[in-house]
Amino acid sequence: MTLTPINGNVKKILVVDDSADTREMMAKLLELERFVVVTAEDGRVGLDVAESERPDLIITDINMPNLNGLEMITLLRKQSWFSRVPILAITAYGSNIALDALDAGADRAMTKPVEFDSLIDGIRQLIGSAECGARNAE
């Protein structure tokens, strides 16, 4: 498969969701957009996968067993490597929970159902912003 890079690099996205169907569907859609996708079934596994894979962006559900998305975001933001990695939180529980995700450190929050075009636009904006921030920090 030939990957179409963003700003010269193929981007890796971590998708964290306790629904296997959601993880699989999102992974397939993102792969069609030429992203490399890794997945995790809850926040605890998400932390481990984030550490080992060092994704360019993290998409996480909020309501999950073991370690929910808010807790995972908070723990990731305490680590220097993840202080500037964009995090997109997705929730079915409405705008109040989406605001909680932003307070926890997510860069953007969306409520379900999410339109795929809006998701892709948001991903591209977040990755572009992160690259600009990394260049400005150098």
Collapsed DSSP state (helix, strand, coil) of residue 7: coil
> Above 90 in pLDDT, residue 72?
yes
Please give the backbone phi and psi of residue 99, each rounded to the nearest 5 degrees, phi first.
-65, -35
User: 134: pLDDT confidence band, cut at 50, 70 and 90?
Assistant: very low
> Above 50 in pLDDT, residue 32?
yes
Residue 3 maps to a domain = no
User: 1: pLDDT confidence band, cut at 50, 70 and 90?
Assistant: very low
Residue 7 maps to a domain = no
Question: What is the per-residue pLDDT for 96?
Answer: 85
Residue 1 maps to a domain = no
Highest mean pLDDT: which of 2-11, 69-78, 109-118?
A: 69-78
Number of domains in the chain: 1
> Above 90 in pLDDT, residue 128?
no
Residue 2 maps to a domain = no
Strand order in the sheet with 12-16: 36-40, 12-16, 57-61, 87-91, 108-111
Question: What is the per-residue pLDDT for 120?
Answer: 94
- Residue 22's Cβ-count burial label (10 Å; 0-12, 13-18, 19+) is middle
Residue 74 maps to a domain = yes
User: 129: pLDDT confidence band, cut at 50, 70 and 90?
Assistant: confident
Per-residue pLDDT, averaged over 99-104, amounts to 95
The CATH number that applies at residue 121 is 3.40.50.2300
pLDDT averaged over every residue in the chain: 89
Residue 104 maps to a domain = yes
Per-residue pLDDT, averaged over 54-83, amounts to 96
Question: What is the per-residue pLDDT for 9?
Answer: 81
